[in-house]
Chain A
Amino acid sequence: MNARHGGLRDSAATPAFDALRWRRDFPILKQQVHGKPLVYLDNAATSQKPQSVIDAVSDYYQRYNSNVHRGVHQLSEMATAAYEGTRDKLRRFIHAASTKEIIFVRGTTEAINLVAQSYGRSRLQRGDEIILSEMEHHSNIVPWQLLREQTGVVLKIIPINEAGELEPGAYEKLFSPRTQLVAVTHISNALGTINPVKEMIKQAHQHGVPVLLDGAQAVPHLPVNVMDLDCDFYAFSSHKMFGPTGIGVLYAKEALLADMPPYQGGGEMIRTVRFSGSTWNELPHKFEAGTPDIAGAIGLGAAVDYLETIGIASIRDYELGMLEYGTQQLQSLAGVKLVGTARHKAGVLSFVMDGIHPHDIGTIVDQRGIAIRTGHHCAMPVMEHFHIPATARASLAFYNTREDIDALVQALGKVREVFR
């Protein structure tokens, strides 16, 4: 088996992509866990950080730590330039029209909460409808439920089929004259499904309805072009795209942001403050109250540079090859069933084993140095759909190799052994 796939690796499947070269940039991946070389397959939960990102964060703290947009002194100007420089890198990276459309937030979760509380609360009324899907992460369900409690909006859910794809035809039927927003995931974290978001946005716009995409699993793995998608809101997190934790981005069309009230109040987001009332700063600062995660933003900028060096399109190609290999390998194991077999998928391999709970799988493979996620993946409605309490999930990044998947497959043999 290994020899055959070894031959493939060297020739047809992924000729140009040298995963091992990129892997060397990640100091954390050089360690041993439980005496075995670390095999990190939990990238959908969080990705590892290359040395350049770690260095960018530490360089900020060592050389030019200071607040942004405040001082006239040298350090503050350096920090402001680096912070705003990241904003521009992100604008280019996702092809936004203007840096006014790039709002720094804590992560995807905060980005969606911002839209729910600012856009949703100011515009939606009792009986208005929001379309979500059954495969959403809790972070794209609960903010809308909070909004429902506050305003009385109605949530409509696009069902999924047995492959873990949105039920064809179901989406269009959910639109009504009361539909005000569609909020769906670009890629499912639990199933790996890539949704046909461009067509979905087109459909929604025909009804005059704006669309929010949860892009947390998409931005690190395939080219995202918000202008081409024509999405109205796009949310993603730094830590899943090889940047630091604690920072993320809300992209939104400028015209929408201009009309939205602030999400949080404080410093930075104001123009003038008087006790009789205050006025707001211009975009994007209107939505960035308080001192932001400056170090995080600078680290995220380094992550974008790094991804551009590799090339996001070649990352997608490579990961697709890995996904095919992993799918093949897991499907060849007796008693292993993949959960999420959509035609268009990202590198997520969610699976269950006959008679063995995912938690036991997770603990046993961990003893072999293999990090996977087990549980409901913050997508309890997905688990409910498939009538399972949890899955084991191996999720790929460009630094993973076929050897990583082989190690997992071998470890799953050990799992069987323990329960024989």
Chain B
Amino acid sequence: MDLKDLYQDVVVDHNRSPRNFRKITDATSVQEGFNPLCGDKLTVFLKLDGDRISDVSFEGSGCAISVASASLMTETLKGKSVAQAEQLFEKMHALLTVEDPQCDLESLGKLAALSGVHEYPSRVKCATLCWHTLKYALEHPETNPVSTE
């Protein structure tokens, strides 16, 4: 195992300058994800325009893997349909948790930078937190007042 597999340049870059790290004031769904084990906490803001994700962002604190994962997620999802987002969730879930995910890394684009995570079992949850929060946000189109402060 090489640390470079986990902390690829893309991951380090997205940790240092996370994309879409902001609130969306007119979001259609706001959900909070929390990992009680490590204290990672993030809020996903989702704005749906019909079936399309017109904007998506996040805020919160966490390790490099969780911040980079959320940053890459928001960057990838903008403009996608709900069905596409759900497909991507399944693909990412496999990439992060399955030994040999059999998925086409190229189709994942920059998200493939997280392909080394599954070799570090204690870090898988860091990378999946944002995706689970997103899935919850897609399934619960409401803003949760607790999580938006």
Residues of chain A having any CB pair with chain B under 8 Å: 34, 356-360, 363-364, 367, 374-376, 380, 383, 389-390, 418-419
User: Which residue in chain B gives the minimum CB-CB distance to A414?
Assistant: B3
CB contacts (< 8 Å) of B61 on chain A: these are: 357, 389
| Contact, CB under 8 Å: A376 / B12 | no
- CB of B63 within 8 Å of the partner chain: yes
Nearest 5 interchain pairs by C-beta: A357-B63, A359-B63, A389-B39, A360-B64, A418-B7
CB contacts (< 8 Å) of A390 on chain B: these are: 38-39
| Contact, CB under 8 Å: B62 / A357 | yes
- CB of B146 within 8 Å of the partner chain: no
User: Which residue in chain B gives the minimum CB-CB distance to A383?
Assistant: B39
Report the separation of the CA atoms of residues A390 and B64 in the bound assembly, to the nearest whole angstrom. 14
Q: Please list 9 pairs of residues, one from A and one from B, whose beta carbons are closer than 8 Å in the complex, sorted by A's number.
A: A357-B67, A359-B123, A359-B126, A360-B63, A363-B6, A367-B3, A375-B37, A380-B39, A418-B3
CB distance from A415 to the nearest CB of B (A): 10
CB distance from B16 to the nearest CB of A (A): 8
CB contacts (< 8 Å) of B123 on chain A: these are: 359, 363
CB contacts (< 8 Å) of A375 on chain B: these are: 37-39
- CB of B70 within 8 Å of the partner chain: no
CB contacts (< 8 Å) of A389 on chain B: these are: 38-41, 61-62
| Contact, CB under 8 Å: A418 / B39 | no
CB contacts (< 8 Å) of B6 on chain A: these are: 363
- CB of B48 within 8 Å of the partner chain: no
Set A356, A367, A383: member contacting B1, Cβ < 8 A:
A367
Residues 1-40 of B contacting A (Cβ, < 8 Å):
1, 3, 6-7, 12, 15-16, 37-40
Report the separation of the CA atoms of residues A375 and B122 in the bound assembly, to the nearest whole angstrom. 12
CB distance from B98 to the nearest CB of A (A): 20
CB distance from A215 to the nearest CB of B (A): 26
| Contact, CB under 8 Å: A34 / B1 | yes
Report the separation of the CA atoms of residues A303 and B119 in the bound assembly, to the nearest whole angstrom. 36
CB contacts (< 8 Å) of A419 on chain B: these are: 7, 12, 15-16, 64
CB distance from A209 to the nearest CB of B (A): 33
Q: Determine which residue in A357, A375, A376 has the highest number of CB atoms from chain B within 10 A of its CB, and name it.
A: A357
Report the separation of the CA atoms of residues A419 and B16 in the bound assembly, to the nearest whole angstrom. 8
Binary CB contact string for chain B from 58 to 95 against chain A (1 if under 8 A, 0 otherwise): 00011111010000000000000000000000000000
Report the separation of the CA atoms of residues A358 and B40 in the bound assembly, to the nearest whole angstrom. 11
Report the separation of the CA atoms of residues A325 and B3 in the bound assembly, to the nearest whole angstrom. 29
CB distance from A380 to the nearest CB of B (A): 8
Report the separation of the CA atoms of residues A374 and B7 in the bound assembly, to the nearest whole angstrom. 18
Given A359-B123, A360-B63, A389-B61, is A376 in contact with B39 using a C-beta cutoff of 8 Å? yes
CB contacts (< 8 Å) of B62 on chain A: these are: 357, 389
CB distance from B7 to the nearest CB of A (A): 5
Residues 93-149 of B contacting A (Cβ, < 8 Å):
120, 122-123, 126
CB distance from A55 to the nearest CB of B (A): 32
CB contacts (< 8 Å) of B65 on chain A: these are: 359-360
CB contacts (< 8 Å) of A374 on chain B: these are: 38
User: Which residue in chain B gives the minimum CB-CB distance to A367?
Assistant: B3
Report the separation of the CA atoms of residues A402 and B67 in the bound assembly, to the nearest whole angstrom. 35
User: Which residue in chain A gives the minimum CB-CB distance to B2?
Assistant: A367
CB distance from B35 to the nearest CB of A (A): 10
User: Which residue in chain B gives the minimum CB-CB distance to A368?
Assistant: B3
CB contacts (< 8 Å) of B7 on chain A: these are: 360, 364, 418-419
Q: Determine which residue in B3, B62, B65 has the highest number of CB atoms from chain A within 10 A of its CB, and name it.
A: B3
Report the separation of the CA atoms of residues A390 and B16 in the bound assembly, to the nearest whole angstrom. 19
| Contact, CB under 8 Å: A357 / B3 | no
CB distance from A45 to the nearest CB of B (A): 14
Report the separation of the CA atoms of residues A258 and B82 in the bound assembly, to the nearest whole angstrom. 66
CB distance from A303 to the nearest CB of B (A): 28
Set A34, A357, A367, A383: member contacting B64, Cβ < 8 A:
A357
CB contacts (< 8 Å) of B126 on chain A: these are: 359
Given A389-B61, A418-B12, is A359 in contact with B38 using a C-beta cutoff of 8 Å? yes
CB contacts (< 8 Å) of A364 on chain B: these are: 3, 7
Report the separation of the CA atoms of residues A380 and B122 in the bound assembly, to the nearest whole angstrom. 20
CB contacts (< 8 Å) of B38 on chain A: these are: 359, 374-376, 389-390
Report the separation of the CA atoms of residues A390 and B62 in the bound assembly, to the nearest whole angstrom. 9
Report the separation of the CA atoms of residues A359 and B117 in the bound assembly, to the nearest whole angstrom. 13
Report the separation of the CA atoms of residues A390 and B38 in the bound assembly, to the nearest whole angstrom. 7
Knowing that A357-B63, A363-B3, A389-B39 touch, tell me 17 more A-B residue pairs with CB under 8 angstroms: A357-B62, A357-B64, A359-B38, A359-B63, A360-B7, A363-B120, A363-B123, A364-B3, A367-B3, A374-B38, A375-B37, A376-B38, A380-B39, A389-B38, A389-B41, A390-B38, A419-B15
CB distance from B42 to the nearest CB of A (A): 11
Report the separation of the CA atoms of residues A389 and B3 in the bound assembly, to the nearest whole angstrom. 24
CB contacts (< 8 Å) of B67 on chain A: these are: 357
Report the separation of the CA atoms of residues A367 and B7 in the bound assembly, to the nearest whole angstrom. 12
Report the separation of the CA atoms of residues A367 and B122 in the bound assembly, to the nearest whole angstrom. 13
Report the separation of the CA atoms of residues A375 and B38 in the bound assembly, to the nearest whole angstrom. 5
